[in-house]
Amino acid sequence: MRQDQFILGVIVSNHFGVLTRVSGLFSRRGYNIDSLNVSETEDPKFSRMTILVTGDDYIKNQVVKQLSKLRDVKRVELLPADSTVLREHMLIKLDTKGHSVTEVTEAANIFRAKVIDFNADSVTIEMTGESSKLDAFINYAKTFGIIEMCRAGALAVKRGPGALNGEYFED
Please, are residues 123 and 97 in contact by the beta-carbon 8 Å criterion? no
Q: What is the DSSP string of 109-143?
A: HHTT-EEEEE-SSEEEEEEEE-HHHHHHHHHHHTT
Distance CA 66, CA 88 (A): 26
Residue 118 as a binder of another protein (CB under 8 A): the answer is no
The footprint of another protein on residues 35-74 (CB under 8 A) is 58, 61-62, 65-66, 68-72
Binding span for another protein by CB under 8 A among 20-28, 110-118, 130-138, 156-164: 20-28
Nearer to another protein, 16 or 82 (CB): 16
Least Å from the CB of residue 162 to another protein = 23
- CA-closest candidate to residue 22, choices 64, 85, 54: 64
Residues 6+ apart with CB under 8 A from 100: none
Is the CB of 72 or the CB of 103 nearer to another protein?
72
Q: How far apart are the first and last CA of the chain?
A: 17
Q: Does 21 bind another protein (CB under 8 A)?
A: yes
CB of 14 to another protein, least distance (A): 15
Q: Is residue 30 close enough to count as binding another protein by CB under 8 A?
A: no
Q: Which stretch binds another protein (CB under 8 A): 17-25, 102-110, 114-122, 124-132?
A: 17-25
Closest residue by Cα to residue 86 from 35, 47, 43? 35
Residue closer to another protein (CB basis): 52 or 59: 59
User: Cα-atom radius of gyration of the chain, to the nearest Å?
Assistant: 19
Positions in the binding site for another protein (CB under 8 A): 17, 20-21, 24-25, 28, 58, 61-62, 65-66, 68-72, 168, 171
